[in-house]
């Protein structure tokens, strides 16, 4: 079982987002990746289709009471995988990260699992489908490096980017909760954590 590093330095602040670099050590990353493997054995990853009919390059699954789904019917939170199976509980290893960095007493009820294979990306978007937008979103990176772009409260304008590495944790809360953000690209093969390569991103929220 790995550890969450006692942070010597405060997190990097970037446009109101807190970037905790290297928060999860290698053993912790490996344990968490295995916990996620167990989840997706029950609720397999799939590439969501946007309401406009385009297949996303990222593959998704979820854990917790609610999972984010997208299909021809639109974006929404759902208590079940498209197969009808309820999402498995959020692994304890992942809940510990929320406890450490979120500043919230309330636990998250949703853990979205995004898998980026070679060439996958995520366009600029805001996370605004949750019932209450006062709770932060906590994001965990596992596997290959990813170029994370942070924009503004409206679409467009100047942006700043940061490379996220395996074990990094980002907290998006307060004034920054509704900033546009996205993943431009990953450096496929930069990490050995996942057997088939790629990057896992876990986002924890209070969705319901
Ligand atoms: C990703 N992250 O890192 C995509 N959303 O793959 C997100 O979309 C995100 O990192 C809300 C808060 C933090 C995030
Ligand atoms: Fe997001």
DSSP letter string, 26-48: HHHHHHHHHHHHHHHHHS--B--
**Shortest-distance ligand to the CA of residue 14:** 1
Give me the pLDDT at residue 85, please.
96
**C-alpha 69 to ligand 2 mean position (Å):** 13
Cα distance between residue 67 and residue 58, in whole Å: 15
CA angle 41, 42, 45 (to 5 degrees): 65
Whether 2 and 30 have beta carbons less than 8 Å apart is answered as: yes
- Residue to substitute in 20, 125, 139, 164 for testing ligand 1 pocket (most ligand atoms within 8 angstroms of CB): 139
Q: In the prediction, which pLDDT does 131 show? A: 87
pLDDT of residue 6: 63
Residue 96 CA, ligand 1 centroid: distance in Å: 18
138 lines ligand 1 (CB under 6 A): no
Of all ligands present, the nearest one to the C-alpha of 102 is 1
Asked if 101 and 23 count as a contact pair (C-beta separation under 8 A), the reply is yes
- Cross-strand pairs, 190: none
The pLDDT of residue 8 is above 70: no
Judged against a pLDDT cut of 70, whether residue 116 lies above it is answered with yes
Count of Cβ atoms closer than 10 Å to residue 9 Cβ: 8
Segment 101-115 mean pLDDT: 97
30-68 per-position pLDDT tens digit: 999 999 999 999 999 999 988 888 899 999 999 999 999
Give the model's pLDDT for residue 50: 86
Is any ligand 1 atom within 6 A of the Cβ of residue 110? Answer: no
Residues 6+ apart with CB under 8 A from 32: 2, 24, 91, 93, 94, 140, 142, 202
Summary mean pLDDT of the chain? 95
Share above pLDDT 70 across residues of the chain, in percent, rounded to a whole number: 97
* Whole-number pLDDT of residue 1: 53
Describe the strand order of the beta sheet including 169-172 as a list of residue ranges.
12-14, 17-20, 169-172, 137-143, 199-205, 110-116, 59-64
């Amino acid at each position: 079982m790995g550890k969450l590093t006692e942070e010597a330095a405060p997190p990097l602040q970037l446009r109101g987002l807190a970037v905790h670099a290297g928060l999860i050590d290698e053993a912790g990353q490996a344990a968490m990746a295995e916990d996620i493997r167990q989840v997706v054995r029950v609720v397999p990853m799939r590439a969501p289709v946007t309401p406009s009919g385009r297949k996303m390059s990222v593959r998704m699954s979820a854990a917790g009471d609610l999972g984010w789904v997208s299909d021809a019917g639109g974006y929404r939170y759902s208590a079940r995988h498209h197969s009808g199976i309820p999402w498995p509980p959020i692994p304890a290893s992942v809940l510990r990260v929320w406890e450490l960095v979120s500043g919230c007493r309330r636990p998250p009820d949703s853990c979205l699992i995004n898998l980026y294979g070679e060439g996958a990306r995520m366009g600029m978007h805001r996370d605004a489908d949750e019932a209450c937008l006062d709770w932060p979103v906590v994001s965990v990176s596992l596997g290959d490096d990813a170029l994370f772009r942070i924009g503004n409260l409206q679409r467009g304008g100047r942006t700043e980017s940061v490379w996220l590495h395996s074990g990094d944790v980002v907290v998006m809360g307060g004034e920054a909760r509704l900033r546009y953000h996205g993943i431009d690209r990953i450096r496929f093969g930069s990490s050995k954590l996942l057997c088939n390569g790629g990057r896992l991103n876990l986002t924890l929220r209070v969705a319901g």
